């Protein structure tokens, strides 16, 4: 474990699933959509191009592996992958598994409606399984 | 020039600025935000991880160069970079230059409000300048 601490707005209510070489992997606590953020463990980085080149390549690799994993694991219809950061500038990359039946399809998820936290048991089970599998994925 | 033709919904009303090694570079005809899409010249690709590995790396490179260029050229406050594709599945990556003063800040732009096309003269001037500079950028 590193001692990297992300912006509190990225961490609050969310769950740290694992640490990858570059990024922390955070589950967003919103049961409306499977939603995982990569937060590179670098300070004072806002845009992807603020990373140095090896980190840019590593972020691309981690993002692709995560998106591929999520599409399959959640049997989703589409992955939405985005670096936005208008509210929290610290670089974080959203990975949202989307379904044609979900609450806002085909619209995007940011700023729409109100997050619905997982129930405690469901969150605990999901965290345990995702932590193990995602740790394994980049081991 | 290649003979690659993107999904009509990506091309209609928008303007092809230039061809990069992997992607076509399209200006979105919506004057509310400087908005440019990269459309990889590959068929039957939906997710970034559907590309082969050299293309994934090249897309990352083209996306970073474009985002860096746009932030500076438009003196924007933030870049929003996203692969969504819920409406048009063919892989395309949005690059939107955002301003704290723009119409939907800090919200995202997708599906919000109604596009406002550029006036013909402005579109023509913008297209000419961006085409030249973006062609140069990856020459």
Where do the structural domains in chain B lie, given as residue ranges? 8-137
Residue B1: is its pLDDT beyond 70? Answer: no
In this prediction, residues A55-75 reach a mean pLDDT of 98
Helix/strand/coil for B52: coil
Read off the tokens for A40. Answer: 């590179």
Q: pTM score, two decimals?
A: 0.96
Q: List, for residues B127-138, the tens digit of each pLDDT value.
A: 999 999 999 999
Chain B closest-CA separation from residue A52 CA (Å): 11
Closest Cα to residue B81, out of A19, A27, A80, A66?
A80
The rounded distance, in Å, linking the Cα atoms of B115 and B87 is: 16
Residue B30: per-residue pLDDT:
97
| B contact set with A (CB within 8 A) | 46-49, 56-57, 60, 63-64, 67-68, 71, 78-87, 89, 98, 105-108, 110-111
Q: Which of B122, B130, B123, B92 is nearest to B110 (CA)?
A: B92
Q: What are φ and ψ of residue A23, in 5° steps? A: -115, 150
Cβ distance B49 to A57 less than 8 Å, yes or no, reads no
**Residue of chain B whose alpha carbon sits nearest to that of A90:** B78
Encode pLDDT of B59-101 as tens digits: 999 999 999 999 999 999 999 999 999 999 999 999 999 999 9
B138 token code pair? 């990856």
- Chain B positions touching A47 (Cβ under 8 A) are 67-68, 71, 78-79
Q: Which residue has the higher pLDDT, A139 or A29?
A: A29
| Percent of residues, chain A, with pLDDT higher than 70 | 99
Residues 6+ apart with CB under 8 A from B135: B18
SS3 B133: helix
State the ipTM, two decimals: 0.96
For residues A118-139, average pLDDT: 96
Q: Which of A48, A67, A71 sits opposite B67 (nearest CB)?
A: A48
Q: What is the pLDDT of residue B3?
A: 80
Q: Which of A48, A56, A71 sits opposite B47 (nearest CB)?
A: A71
Name which of A74, A2, A81 is nearest A37 in CA terms. A81
Q: Is the peptide bond before A70 cis (omega within 30 degrees of 0)?
A: no
Residue of B nearest to A77 (CA): B86
Distance (Å) from the alpha carbon of A121 to chain B's nearest alpha carbon: 31
Strands (E), chain B: 15-19, 23-27, 35-40, 78-83, 93-98
Distance of CA B32 to the CA centre of its chain: 14
Assigned fold of B8-137? HIT family, subunit A (3.30.428)
Averaged pLDDT score across all residues of chain A:
96
Q: What is the dihedral of CA B121, B64, A18, A105, to 10 degrees?
A: 30
The answer on pLDDT for B54 being more than 90 is: yes
Position B60 scores a pLDDT of 97
- The residue ranges of DSSP E strands in B41-87, in sequence order, are 78-83
B30-51 residue pLDDT tens:
999 999 999 999 999 999 999 9
What confidence score (pLDDT) does residue A139 get? 82
Q: Is the Cβ–Cβ distance between A54 and A21 less than 8 Å? A: no
Q: What does the pLDDT read at residue B2?
A: 57
Nearest to B108 among A56, A71, A111 (CB): A111
């Amino acid at each position: 474990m590193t001692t990297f601490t992300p912006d509190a707005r990225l961490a609050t209510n969310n769950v740290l699933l694992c640490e990858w070489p570059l990024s922390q992997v955070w589950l967003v606590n919103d049961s409306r959509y499977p939603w995982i953020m990569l937060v590179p463990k670098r300070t004072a980085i806002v845009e992807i191009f603020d990373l140095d080149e090896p980190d840019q390549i590593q972020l691309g690799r981690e993002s692709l592996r995560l998106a591929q994993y999520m599409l399959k694991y959640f049997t989703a219809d589409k992955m939405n992958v985005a670096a936005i950061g208008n509210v929290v500038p610290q670089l974080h990359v959203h990975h949202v598994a989307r379904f044609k039946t979900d609450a806002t399809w085909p619209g995007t998820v940011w700023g729409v409606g109100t997050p619905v936290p997982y129930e405690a048991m469901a969150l605990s089970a999901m965290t345990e399984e995702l932590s193990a599998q995602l740790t394994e994925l980049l081991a």
